[in-house]
Structure 1
Amino acid sequence: MKKLFILFAFTIIGCSTTQNKVINTNNEKTAINTLLDDWHTAAAQADFDGYFDKIATDGYFIGTDATENWDKKAFSTFAKPYFDKGKAWNFKALERNIYFSNDGKTAWFDELLDTWMKVCRGSGVLEKADGKWKIKHYVLSMTVPNKVTKEILPLKAKYEDVIIEELKNQ
């Protein structure tokens, strides 16, 4: 009977721990959704500090152009004139998926966005440090419907063939 009681106690503790993990994951998803929504809103409102404070000091932003691979400092330098004019960009999440590492300190996500470029895909990695999530890596991509890929390729080629050759020759 004593062994049965101990087994029962460990089962309850195990279930309680599992339940807390689920609740914490849901809380973390809410926190990340809020962070990303606020990040996009900061850009729409040309709030430079509100936008760049959400990116980790060693964070990266990869833009839609093949040449746009910026660390935080380079990205903020590029973006500052847009923010200073009071008009950066206005992206709104249509859908978002969030995933976590086993230790809960790293999260990654993908999102579909409503933008001036029509639907774009954002994806990124976040890290939790000192109780706060920060964007470590963000990739913005324009989506291309499969049905129109052949029509778009010649438009891309006149710009990107040069980049392909430069990268091959490095």
Structure 2
Amino acid sequence: MSFIMLPANAFATEDMTVLAEKVTHFIDEWHDDAAHARLQYFDKIAKDGIYIGTDKTERWTRDEFKVWAKLFFERPSAWAFKSFNRHISMSEDRKIIWFDEQLQTQMGICQATGVIAQTAKGFEIRHYQLSRTVPNELTDYLAAGVKKLDEKNAGQVQKK
């Protein structure tokens, strides 16, 4: 009986590997859509999906994000993020996938986390959060600069 279970476990591992490769392709294609200003970029985000950008005011639903990014997508390239270090995990039933990645961007190296749902229609991004990396040695300097800017802007209405 254990001889029969061994190949079944091997297939389960292989299936997970194949799924991880499909997820990798999906995320890479999503980043490539932005790099080439293809509006399919937004189709890969769930209708009620959330995108959190690097600024504290940047939390959007897909449709809000699409409105905000419109000017960027009118150019040949909206932005170009190239992943160089990604980790993918998934729920036991493989319907929920989460990942973290490091990206080469025009802002320097960024980090991001995301949640993807596997639906009958395919993958859709449910949540994505992008953040800039800050060396620990610059934390105090950066925090002081942010505090100074916040004080300067105190009382002004913040826009998304």
TM above 0.5, yes or no, is yes
Match of 1:134 among 124, 135, 142: 124
With the length of structure 2 as denominator, give the TM-score of the two structures. Answer: 0.90
Between 17-26 and 153-162, report the one with greater CA deviation: 153-162
What is the aligned partner in structure 2 of residue 24 from structure 1? Answer: 15
Supply the distance in 1 between the matched residues of 2:98 and 2:119 (Cα, whole angstroms).
15
Match of 2:24 among 33, 38, 46: 33
Does 1:107 pair with 2:97? yes
99 and 162 in structure 1: CA distance in 2 versus 1, 3 angstrom threshold: farther
Structure 1 gaps, min length 5: 1-7, 166-170
78 and 150 in structure 1: CA distance in 2 versus 1, 3 angstrom threshold: same
Once the two structures are superposed, the pairs formed by residues 149-168 of structure 1 within 5 Å of their partners are 149-160=139-150
Q: Deviations over 1:61-93 (max 9, x none)?
A: 000001111000100111112101333111100
If you compute each CA radius of gyration, which structure gives the higher value, 1 or 2? 1
Kindly provide the amino acid, as one letter, of the partner of residue 7 in structure 2.
Answer: S
Percent of counterpart pairs with the same letter?
36
Between 83-92 and 38-47, report the one with greater CA deviation: 83-92
Alignment RMSD (CA, Å) = 2.1
What is the aligned partner in structure 1 of residue 47 from structure 2? Answer: 57
Q: Which has the higher helix share?
A: 1
Kindly provide the amino acid, as one letter, of the partner of residue 46 in structure 1.
Answer: A
Kindly provide the amino acid, as one letter, of the partner of residue 70 in structure 1.
Answer: W
Kindly provide the amino acid, as one letter, of the partner of residue 49 in structure 2.
Answer: G
141 and 147 in structure 1: CA distance in 2 versus 1, 3 angstrom threshold: same
Match of 2:68 among 67, 78, 98: 78
Kindly provide the amino acid, as one letter, of the partner of residue 42 in structure 1.
Answer: D
Kindly provide the amino acid, as one letter, of the partner of residue 126 in structure 1.
Answer: I
Structure 2 gaps, min length 5: 156-160
Match of 1:47 among 38, 42, 58: 38
Supply the distance in 2 between the matched residues of 1:57 and 1:47 (Cα, whole angstroms).
17
Q: Deviations over 1:25-81 (max 9, x none)?
A: 111111111111111111011111x21111112211000001111000100111112
